[in-house]
Amino acid sequence: MRLFTDAYAGYDRGEFAFVKIETDEGFVGYGEAPSTVTVGFYGETLETVTRSLRNVLSPKLIGEDPLNIRRLTSIMDVAQGNSFIAKTGIDIALYDLIGKILKVPVHTLLGGKQRDRIMACSEIGIVRSDQMAAEAMRLVELGFKSIKIKAGADAEDEMKGVEKIRDAVGEGIELRVDPNAGWSREETIRATKTLMRCNVRYLEQPLPGWDLEGLSRVRKSTGMPIMVDESVWTPQDVVRVSQAGAADSVNIKITKTCGLKKAIEVYDTAAAHGLPCVIGTELEACMGLPAKLHIASVLEKLPFACEFTEIAFQKLALEGRVKLDNEGMIPVPSGHGLGIAPAFNLLEQYAVGN
């Protein structure tokens, strides 16, 4: 994996727990519990995720009806509180399984496809300002029309880099900036002057997730559009953000919502409060990628490119090549379930212990 750094840590390899669910009739569903970035953001490691899957959640689900996903979700919630990553892996595998049993794509299970292709955005990790333009141009050459710039280390230097990126890529590439809650209120307000001058579409989570009052103040005092990520994990969080006037949009990560079922609940709540959404990335390396394509395809309103940084930074454990078309978009799979199979040869090659 190409080195990727954000305000939490640097990552030079992708890690995930592979989930397989099999019925007594021989149907199989596959999922991914992505744990690459868990320690700083989720407080979990590959070992804790694997332990949750094997010892806590899986035993509770054996013998249950695989089509009753609401009941299965409730069972998992009772079994282990906020085990976000492990539950995500099971949720994705269940949707893949149900789609295969009913012979429909996952997007049908989620309410119906609204679009056939998803506009893709990739991030660049935190680097010095004199390296940022080159990183951005690498993504442009790969075909991305939207770039998210990670920040949160040195706001002043990062703003110099944003200016260099805009000069390098021109006005035809959408830019967004994400400090991952790494800036202070004062740094954020100062930075917005450069961001607005560089036509950055929105600023994502510059302040800690709990500081809704600070986010509201930044919005009202600068006019800079704010997207929240760390501030929203549940539908109830969306309500609090809306009531505080803390954001203009929401980043939905299926790992934060414990999978697709609750991600739809977050989206519906955000839509009811007039907050558009984007589907974000956790550097998914396997079944999480097609899961994101399916959920992005069903959202009635999707004004932003969705995040697929994993395409630009790591080898994917999926059959076939997932790539952008000439317009920077990714086709939505149409087969039963998730429509893309895991690459078992790569899973075996890179399995822990090999």
Q: Write out pLDDT tens, residues 294-347.
A: 999 999 999 999 999 999 988 899 998 888 999 999 999 999 999 999 999 999
Residue 91: closest CA among 294, 352, 316, 267: 294
* CA dist., res. 306 & res. 301, Å (int): 12
pLDDT at 240: 98
Burial track 284-316 (b if 16+ CB lie within 10 A, e otherwise): bbbbbbbbbbbbbbbbeebebbbbbbbbbbbeb
* CA dist., res. 156 & res. 191, Å (int): 7
Phi, psi of 102 (to 5 degrees): -90, -5
Please, what sign has the CA dihedral across residues 86, 88, 93, 94? positive
The overall average pLDDT reported for the chain is 94
| The domain over range 4-105 is classified in CATH as 3.90.1170.50 | no
Q: Which helix (H) or strand (E) covers residue 252, if one does?
A: strand 249-252
Range with the poorest average pLDDT among 11-25, 100-114, 195-209, 256-270: 11-25
pLDDT at 9: 73
Grouping H, G, I as helix, E, B as strand and the rest as coil, residue 37 is coil
**What are the start-end ranges of the H helices in 103-233?**
106-109, 129-142, 155-169, 185-197, 212-222
pLDDT at 10: 72
Banded pLDDT at 149 (limits 50, 70, 90) = very high
Greater confidence, 198 or 7? 198
| Segment 321-336, tens digit of pLDDT | 888 999 999 999 999 9
pLDDT at 307: 98
Within 8 A by CB and 6+ apart from 212, the residues are 231, 240, 241, 244, 246
Region(s) of the chain under CATH 3.30.390.10: 4-105
Residue 111: closest CA among 286, 275, 271: 271
Phi, psi of 229 (to 5 degrees): -130, -70
| The domain over range 109-331 is classified in CATH as 3.20.20.120 | yes
Region(s) of the chain under CATH 3.20.20.120: 109-331
Residue 20 burial (CB count, 10 A): 13
Q: Classify strands 277-279 and 306-307 as parallel, antiparallel or unpaired.
A: unpaired
Q: Report CA-CA distances (Å) from 267 to 63, 83, 240, 259, 260.
A: 31, 21, 14, 12, 10
